[in-house]
DNA sequence: TGCCTTGTTGGTAACAATACCAACAAACCA
DNA sequence: TGGTTTGTTGGTATTGTTACCAACAAGGCA
Protein backbone atom coordinates (compact mmCIF):
# COMPACT_ATOMS: atom_id res chain seq x y z
CA UNK A 1 0.00 0.00 0.00
CA UNK A 2 0.83 3.61 -0.54
CA UNK A 3 1.37 6.02 2.38
CA UNK A 4 -0.78 9.10 2.94
CA UNK A 5 2.23 11.32 2.26
CA UNK A 6 2.88 9.58 -1.05
CA UNK A 7 -0.78 9.88 -1.95
CA UNK A 8 -0.59 13.59 -1.34
CA UNK A 9 2.35 14.06 -3.70
CA UNK A 10 0.70 11.98 -6.39
CA UNK A 11 -2.64 13.65 -6.07
CA UNK A 12 -0.98 17.03 -6.60
CA UNK A 13 0.13 15.91 -10.04
CA UNK A 14 -3.23 14.38 -10.89
CA UNK A 15 -5.02 17.49 -9.65
CA UNK A 16 -2.93 19.57 -12.05
CA UNK A 17 -4.43 17.57 -14.91
CA UNK A 18 -7.98 17.81 -13.57
CA UNK A 19 -9.14 20.88 -15.42
CA UNK A 20 -10.48 21.03 -18.99
CA UNK A 21 -8.18 23.88 -20.01
CA UNK A 22 -5.10 22.12 -18.67
CA UNK A 23 -6.19 18.82 -20.17
CA UNK A 24 -6.63 20.38 -23.61
CA UNK A 25 -3.27 22.06 -23.28
CA UNK A 26 -1.62 18.72 -22.53
CA UNK A 27 -3.35 17.15 -25.54
CA UNK A 28 -2.16 20.05 -27.68
CA UNK A 29 1.43 19.84 -26.48
CA UNK A 30 1.42 16.12 -27.19
CA UNK A 31 1.78 17.09 -30.87
CA UNK A 32 4.91 19.12 -30.18
CA UNK A 33 6.09 22.32 -28.55
CA UNK A 34 3.76 25.31 -28.82
CA UNK A 35 4.00 29.02 -28.07
CA UNK A 36 1.92 30.81 -25.50
CA UNK A 37 -0.13 32.54 -28.18
CA UNK A 38 -0.91 29.24 -29.89
CA UNK A 39 -2.15 27.78 -26.61
CA UNK A 40 -3.95 31.00 -25.74
CA UNK A 41 -5.88 30.97 -29.02
CA UNK A 42 -7.43 27.58 -28.18
CA UNK A 43 -9.59 29.25 -25.55
CA UNK A 44 -11.81 32.28 -25.08
CA UNK A 45 -10.17 33.23 -21.82
CA UNK A 46 -8.15 36.12 -20.50
CA UNK A 47 -4.43 35.73 -21.16
CA UNK A 48 -3.76 35.92 -17.44
CA UNK A 49 -6.07 32.97 -16.85
CA UNK A 50 -4.28 30.88 -19.47
CA UNK A 51 -0.92 31.93 -18.08
CA UNK A 52 -1.94 30.75 -14.62
CA UNK A 53 -3.14 27.39 -15.91
CA UNK A 54 0.22 26.90 -17.57
CA UNK A 55 1.90 27.79 -14.29
CA UNK A 56 -0.05 25.03 -12.54
CA UNK A 57 1.16 22.49 -15.10
CA UNK A 58 4.71 23.80 -14.75
CA UNK A 59 4.68 23.60 -10.97
CA UNK A 60 3.48 20.02 -11.20
CA UNK A 61 6.42 19.23 -13.50
CA UNK A 62 4.19 18.20 -16.40
CA UNK A 63 5.35 20.93 -18.78
CA UNK A 64 8.36 23.24 -19.07
CA UNK A 65 8.73 26.63 -20.70
CA UNK A 66 11.51 28.49 -22.41
CA UNK A 67 11.74 32.04 -23.69
CA UNK A 68 12.62 32.07 -27.37
CA UNK A 69 12.82 35.50 -28.95
CA UNK A 70 9.68 37.27 -27.91
CA UNK A 71 7.73 34.03 -27.55
CA UNK A 72 7.36 31.71 -24.62
CA UNK A 73 7.58 28.14 -25.82
CA UNK A 74 5.91 25.35 -23.85
CA UNK A 75 6.85 21.69 -23.97
CA UNK A 76 5.25 18.54 -22.59
CA UNK A 77 7.90 17.22 -20.23
CA UNK A 78 6.39 13.79 -19.46
CA UNK A 79 4.44 12.54 -22.50
CA UNK A 80 3.32 9.37 -20.71
CA UNK A 81 0.60 11.37 -18.99
CA UNK A 82 -1.40 11.15 -22.19
CA UNK A 83 -1.31 7.33 -22.09
CA UNK A 84 -3.75 7.69 -19.28
CA UNK A 85 -6.41 9.28 -21.45
CA UNK A 86 -7.15 5.91 -23.01
CA UNK A 87 -8.15 4.63 -19.62
CA UNK A 88 -10.25 7.71 -18.94
CA UNK A 89 -12.05 6.94 -22.18
CA UNK A 90 -12.61 3.40 -20.93
CA UNK A 91 -14.22 4.81 -17.79
CA UNK A 92 -16.47 7.03 -19.89
CA UNK A 93 -17.49 4.14 -22.15
CA UNK A 94 -18.19 1.99 -19.15
CA UNK A 95 -20.37 4.74 -17.72
CA UNK A 96 -22.30 5.00 -20.96
CA UNK A 97 -22.73 1.24 -21.02
CA UNK A 98 -24.12 1.34 -17.53
CA UNK A 99 -26.28 4.33 -18.43
CA UNK A 100 -24.58 6.51 -15.90
CA UNK A 101 -23.51 9.15 -18.35
CA UNK A 102 -24.79 12.01 -16.32
CA UNK A 103 -23.36 10.91 -13.02
CA UNK A 104 -19.89 12.31 -13.59
CA UNK A 105 -20.45 15.63 -12.00
CA UNK A 106 -16.95 16.59 -10.97
CA UNK B 1 -7.42 17.49 -31.08
CA UNK B 2 -9.94 17.05 -28.33
CA UNK B 3 -12.98 19.34 -27.99
CA UNK B 4 -13.63 21.50 -24.95
CA UNK B 5 -16.71 19.44 -24.14
CA UNK B 6 -14.72 16.21 -24.27
CA UNK B 7 -12.04 17.77 -22.09
CA UNK B 8 -14.67 18.65 -19.53
CA UNK B 9 -15.97 15.07 -19.32
CA UNK B 10 -12.46 13.68 -19.04
CA UNK B 11 -11.34 16.19 -16.46
CA UNK B 12 -14.29 15.24 -14.26
CA UNK B 13 -12.93 11.70 -14.04
CA UNK B 14 -9.37 12.86 -13.44
CA UNK B 15 -10.56 15.32 -10.81
CA UNK B 16 -12.23 12.47 -8.97
CA UNK B 17 -8.80 10.86 -8.60
CA UNK B 18 -7.10 14.07 -7.54
CA UNK B 19 -7.40 13.77 -3.79
CA UNK B 20 -5.09 11.79 -1.48
CA UNK B 21 -7.95 9.98 0.26
CA UNK B 22 -9.52 8.93 -3.01
CA UNK B 23 -6.16 7.95 -4.45
CA UNK B 24 -5.36 5.75 -1.46
CA UNK B 25 -8.81 4.20 -1.73
CA UNK B 26 -8.23 3.33 -5.37
CA UNK B 27 -4.85 1.78 -4.49
CA UNK B 28 -6.52 -0.20 -1.73
CA UNK B 29 -9.32 -1.47 -3.97
CA UNK B 30 -6.76 -2.54 -6.54
CA UNK B 31 -6.06 -5.49 -4.24
CA UNK B 32 -9.71 -6.56 -4.29
CA UNK B 33 -13.12 -5.58 -3.02
CA UNK B 34 -13.25 -3.95 0.41
CA UNK B 35 -15.98 -3.03 2.86
CA UNK B 36 -16.72 0.52 3.96
CA UNK B 37 -15.28 -0.13 7.40
CA UNK B 38 -12.03 -1.45 5.93
CA UNK B 39 -11.67 1.67 3.80
CA UNK B 40 -12.77 3.89 6.69
CA UNK B 41 -10.09 2.46 8.98
CA UNK B 42 -7.34 3.61 6.60
CA UNK B 43 -7.97 7.20 7.62
CA UNK B 44 -8.50 9.34 10.70
CA UNK B 45 -11.54 11.04 9.25
CA UNK B 46 -15.21 11.23 10.05
CA UNK B 47 -17.23 8.42 8.47
CA UNK B 48 -19.35 10.97 6.62
CA UNK B 49 -16.23 12.42 5.03
CA UNK B 50 -15.08 8.98 3.85
CA UNK B 51 -18.58 8.20 2.61
CA UNK B 52 -18.58 11.38 0.54
CA UNK B 53 -15.19 10.62 -0.98
CA UNK B 54 -16.50 7.22 -2.02
CA UNK B 55 -19.53 8.90 -3.55
CA UNK B 56 -17.26 11.07 -5.68
CA UNK B 57 -15.48 7.98 -7.01
CA UNK B 58 -18.83 6.28 -7.64
CA UNK B 59 -20.26 9.24 -9.51
CA UNK B 60 -17.18 9.29 -11.71
CA UNK B 61 -17.73 5.60 -12.50
CA UNK B 62 -14.39 4.55 -11.04
CA UNK B 63 -15.83 2.35 -8.30
CA UNK B 64 -19.15 0.61 -7.62
CA UNK B 65 -20.79 -0.43 -4.38
CA UNK B 66 -23.11 -3.20 -3.33
CA UNK B 67 -24.86 -3.88 -0.05
CA UNK B 68 -23.91 -7.32 1.26
CA UNK B 69 -25.46 -8.27 4.57
CA UNK B 70 -24.90 -5.30 6.82
CA UNK B 71 -21.77 -4.21 4.97
CA UNK B 72 -21.34 -2.00 1.97
CA UNK B 73 -18.80 -3.55 -0.37
CA UNK B 74 -16.79 -1.37 -2.74
CA UNK B 75 -15.17 -2.53 -5.94
CA UNK B 76 -12.74 -0.90 -8.38
CA UNK B 77 -14.72 -0.84 -11.62
CA UNK B 78 -11.94 0.21 -14.01
CA UNK B 79 -8.59 -1.16 -12.78
CA UNK B 80 -6.65 0.50 -15.61
CA UNK B 81 -6.74 3.77 -13.68
CA UNK B 82 -3.92 2.45 -11.54
CA UNK B 83 -1.72 1.96 -14.61
CA UNK B 84 -1.43 5.68 -14.61
CA UNK B 85 0.28 5.82 -11.27
CA UNK B 86 3.50 4.58 -12.88
CA UNK B 87 3.54 7.69 -15.01
CA UNK B 88 2.79 9.90 -12.03
CA UNK B 89 5.84 8.35 -10.40
CA UNK B 90 7.83 9.21 -13.52
CA UNK B 91 6.75 12.83 -13.17
CA UNK B 92 7.80 12.85 -9.52
CA UNK B 93 11.19 11.32 -10.32
CA UNK B 94 11.70 13.82 -13.08
CA UNK B 95 10.90 16.63 -10.67
CA UNK B 96 13.41 15.31 -8.17
CA UNK B 97 16.02 15.03 -10.90
CA UNK B 98 15.44 18.64 -11.86
CA UNK B 99 15.44 19.65 -8.19
CA UNK B 100 11.89 20.87 -8.36
CA UNK B 101 10.62 18.64 -5.63
CA UNK B 102 8.88 21.37 -3.76
CA UNK B 103 7.19 23.00 -6.71
CA UNK B 104 4.25 20.59 -6.85
CA UNK B 105 1.95 22.58 -4.71
CA UNK B 106 -1.45 21.41 -5.91
C1' DT C 1 -40.17 -3.82 20.26
C1' DG C 2 -36.01 -1.50 21.54
C1' DC C 3 -31.35 -0.79 20.64
C1' DC C 4 -27.02 -1.45 18.41
C1' DT C 5 -24.31 -1.28 14.14
C1' DT C 6 -23.45 0.56 9.64
C1' DG C 7 -23.48 4.05 6.41
C1' DT C 8 -25.72 8.14 4.10
C1' DT C 9 -27.55 12.81 3.88
C1' DG C 10 -28.05 17.74 5.30
C1' DG C 11 -26.07 21.86 7.14
C1' DT C 12 -22.41 24.83 7.55
C1' DA C 13 -17.76 26.84 8.25
C1' DA C 14 -13.17 27.12 6.39
C1' DC C 15 -10.37 26.96 2.70
C1' DA C 16 -8.93 26.32 -2.27
C1' DA C 17 -9.53 27.23 -7.13
C1' DT C 18 -10.80 30.00 -10.96
C1' DA C 19 -12.07 33.95 -13.52
C1' DC C 20 -11.58 38.80 -14.62
C1' DC C 21 -9.26 43.40 -14.80
C1' DA C 22 -5.36 46.29 -14.03
C1' DA C 23 -0.67 47.00 -13.69
C1' DC C 24 3.68 45.66 -14.72
C1' DA C 25 8.17 43.83 -17.11
C1' DA C 26 10.84 42.55 -21.12
C1' DA C 27 11.73 42.38 -25.83
C1' DC C 28 11.00 44.16 -30.37
C1' DC C 29 10.32 47.75 -33.85
C1' DA C 30 9.66 52.32 -35.88
C1' DT D 1 13.42 57.00 -27.47
C1' DG D 2 8.57 55.84 -27.51
C1' DG D 3 5.10 52.72 -28.61
C1' DT D 4 3.65 47.90 -29.42
C1' DT D 5 3.61 43.14 -28.55
C1' DT D 6 3.94 39.34 -25.36
C1' DG D 7 3.26 37.29 -21.16
C1' DT D 8 3.33 37.42 -15.92
C1' DT D 9 1.88 39.03 -11.39
C1' DG D 10 -1.33 41.18 -7.98
C1' DG D 11 -5.90 41.97 -6.40
C1' DT D 12 -10.38 40.45 -5.75
C1' DA D 13 -15.10 38.44 -6.36
C1' DT D 14 -17.27 34.19 -7.17
C1' DT D 15 -17.66 29.52 -6.95
C1' DG D 16 -16.26 24.77 -5.62
C1' DT D 17 -14.33 21.54 -2.29
C1' DT D 18 -13.63 19.50 1.98
C1' DA D 19 -14.14 18.78 6.76
C1' DC D 20 -16.94 18.32 10.85
C1' DC D 21 -21.23 17.44 13.56
C1' DA D 22 -25.97 16.08 13.84
C1' DA D 23 -29.73 13.65 12.22
C1' DC D 24 -31.48 10.05 9.84
C1' DA D 25 -32.50 5.27 7.56
C1' DA D 26 -31.95 0.26 7.19
C1' DG D 27 -30.67 -4.12 9.02
C1' DG D 28 -29.51 -7.34 12.63
C1' DC D 29 -30.12 -9.11 17.21
C1' DA D 30 -31.70 -9.30 22.22
CA distance B18 to A17: 9
Query: What is the ipTM for the molecules in this complex?
Result: 0.89
Cα angle value A36/A37/A43 (rounded, 5°): 100
Chain B, 60 to 89: residues with Cβ < 8 Å from chain A are 60-62, 77-78, 80-81, 83-89
**Per DSSP, what are the bridge partners of residue B73?**
B35, B66
- Is strand D within 7 Å of residue B45 (CB)? yes
Contact B16, B60 (CB under 8 A): yes
Q: Cα distance from B70 to chain A (closest Cα, Å)?
A: 25
Q: CB-based contact (8 Å) between A27 and chain B?
A: yes
Contact A91 B104 (CB under 8 A): no
Contact B7 A28 (CB under 8 A): no
- SS3 for A35-104 is EHHHHHCCCCCCHHHHHHHHHHHHHCCCEEEEEECCEEEEEECCHHHHHHHHHHHHHHHHHHHCCCHHHC
Assign domain B4-78 to a CATH class. Answer: mainly alpha
pLDDT tens-digit readout, B28-67? 999 999 999 999 999 999 999 999 999 999 999 999 999 9
CA dihedral A41, A42, A46, A49 (to 10 degrees): -130
pLDDT of residue A100: 45
- Strand order through the sheet with A34-35: A34-35, A71-76, A63-68
Cα angle value A58/A11/A81 (rounded, 5°): 55
- Is strand D within 7 Å of residue B49 (CB)? yes
Mean pLDDT by 10 residues, chain A (106 residues): 92 96 97 97 97 97 93 94 86 79 36
Read off the DSSP letter of residue B70. Answer: T
Could you identify the residue whose CA is nearest to the C1' atom of nucleotide C9?
B48
Distance in Å from D10's C1' to B39's CA comes to: 43
Q: Is B78 helix (H, G, I), strand (E, B) or coil?
A: coil
Domain positions in chain B: 4-78
Amino acid sequence: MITMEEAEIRSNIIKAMGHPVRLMTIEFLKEGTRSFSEIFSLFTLDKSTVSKHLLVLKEAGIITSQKTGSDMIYRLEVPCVTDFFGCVTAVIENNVRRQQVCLCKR
